[in-house]
Structures are given as C-alpha cells and as structure tokens.
Amino acid sequence: MFRHMKSDIQAVLDNDPAARSKFEVIFTYSGLHAIWSHRIAHACYNRKWYTLARIISQVSRFFTGIEIHPGAKIGQKLFIDHGMGVVIGETCVIGDDVVIYQGVTLGGTGKEKGKRHPTIGNHVVIGSGAKVLGSFTVGHNSNIGSNAVVLREVPENCTVVGNPGRIVRRNGEKVRDRLDHTQLPDPIIEMLREMQQEIDRLNDKVKSLSAKSLDGEDQHEQLVLAKEEK
C-alpha cells in the first residue's frame, strides 16, 4: 500500500505543471489524498471489512469531494487533478498512468449487474466532466474529451469527444465524422439523380433506335423508288 506513495507523488509532478514541490503536493493535492485513502479503504474491502471500507471512503469524499468506491481497482500513478465531483464505481478497474480531471464519472448505466463499471487502460486521459458509463474497456493511450458521454468500448489510441461519445482520432489520424449532419447524404436528392441518369440513358436509346428506324425507312423508300424506276 505504502510502496506506491512515491510514484503517486511523482505522477502529480509529471502531470501538473503547477505542482512545484513534493512538500506542496503531499499537503495540498486532494486527488492524492483521495487515492491514499482509497488504498486503505480497498485493503479493508479485500478483507471483507465492507462497512469500515465505506466509512473511510465517505470520510475521504467529505474532505476531497472525490468518491471512490472501496471495491474499485486502481493501478499505479493515477493522477486526479482538482478532483471535485469525481465518482469511481465499485467494479471499475483503472490501469497505470491515468489522468482524471474534475467532474468525471466512471459509473454504470443502472441496467447492469455484476461488473457494471468501465475498465480504463494505461495512459488514458479523461477530461473534466466526462461520463464513462458501462462495463466496457477504454483502450490504452486513449483520450476522452471534456464533457464526453462514453457508452461503448473505446479501442486503443483513440480520442473520443461529444455526447454520445464518438471517435474523432485513431492512431493519430483524424477519423471522418459520420455524425456531421451537414455532410449527411440526402436520399431524395440521390434518388432524383439516379432517375435523371436513367432518363438520360433511355433518351439516348430512343434517339439511337429512331435513327436506326429512319435509316431503315430511307432504305425502304430508296428500294421502292428503284423498283418504280425499273
């Protein structure tokens, strides 16, 4: 439990340019206090001291504004910046080197039982106010934008923004926005275009057929004239 304290402090120094010294980090970063309280609460939870675990968790919430259920599994070097309003559910699993900003919910949709909270991969950033709801995985190195509402699996190396969350970047490349309503195909225009093409095609056919039949009539007239001359 205590062996992670050094790397917890380092995570703050690495991720927050405003953090000046270890002393300041230890005494003023409520995200750090919440994580340390959680480690104690989680140890109690693992020993099935559920009520004590919940009491520790709620006391921590009172002082930090961060509610982490004692059952949540948290990896190394989690950095919770500012923290107020963060909620992390019971069956949530968080990998290493994750950054979480204020107002983030890692919760359930209210419909699932058992594992009902997300699994967050390593090196994931979850922006302020984002809601990640359900028992799916957010892949390693992905970013969840501020205020995104993520309801389904996020592959590795992706950026997800908006409500409902959609992937806008994958492996560093921009992904075409299929929900850009100004770019949506118009089925009526498409149908009219296809009909116009069909009419043009039929027109051409009629013209060529009538040209052929005119040729045929000419030949017929020429034959009649030739017979009359004879």
Ligand X SMILES: CC(C)(COP(=O)(O)OP(=O)(O)OC[C@H]1O[C@@H](n2cnc3c(N)ncnc32)[C@H](O)[C@@H]1OP(=O)(O)O)[C@@H](O)C(=O)NCCC(=O)NCCS
Q: Which two tokens stand for residue 94?
A: 């968080």
Nearer to ligand X, 14 or 90 (CB): 14
Phi, psi of 178 (to 5 degrees): -75, -10
SS3 label, residue 70: coil
Using the rule CB under 6 A, is 169 a contact of ligand X? yes
CB of 39 to ligand X, least distance (A): 24
66 in contact with ligand X (CB under 6 A): no
Q: Are 131 and 150 in contact (CB under 8 A)?
A: yes
User: Taking the complex as a whole, how short is the minimal distance between the CB of residue 99 and ligand X, in angstroms?
Assistant: 9
Residue among 67 and 81 whose Cβ is closer to ligand X: 81
Q: Least distance from C-beta 209 to ligand X, angstroms? A: 53
Residue partners of 96: CB distance under 8 A and separation at least 6: 75, 76, 77, 78, 122, 123
* Out of 26, 149, 162, 170, the residue judged to bind ligand X by CB under 6 A: 162
Strands 87-88, 105-107: pairing is parallel
**What's the min distance (Å) between Cβ of 153 and ligand X?**
17
Cβ neighbour number for residue 28 with a 10 Å cutoff: 12
Does 174 bind ligand X (CB under 6 A)? Our answer is yes
The reply to whether 157 sits near ligand X by the rule CB under 6 A is: no
> Considering the complex, what minimum distance in angstroms separates the CB of residue 130 from ligand X?
8
Longest dimension (CA), the chain: 123
143: contact with ligand X by CB under 6 A: yes
CA 139 – CA 142 distance, rounded (Å): 6
Say whether 141 sits in a helix, a strand or coil: coil
What's the rounded Cα separation, in Å, for the pair 156 and 48?
A: 34
- Rg of the chain over Cα atoms, rounded to whole angstroms, equals 33
Q: Tokens in use for 119?
A: 């699994």
Q: Which is nearer to ligand X, 31 or 134 (CB)?
A: 31
- Stretch touching ligand X by CB under 6 A, among 4-12, 24-32, 34-42, 161-169: 161-169
Taking residues 98 to 127 in sequence order and writing x for each that binds ligand X by CB under 6 A, - otherwise, the string is: ---x-----------------------x-x
Rounded to the nearest whole angstrom, what is the least distance from the CB of residue 155 to ligand X in the complex? 13
Query: Which residues of this chain interact with ligand X, rule CB under 6 A?
Result: 82, 101, 125, 127-128, 143, 145-147, 159, 161-162, 168-169, 174
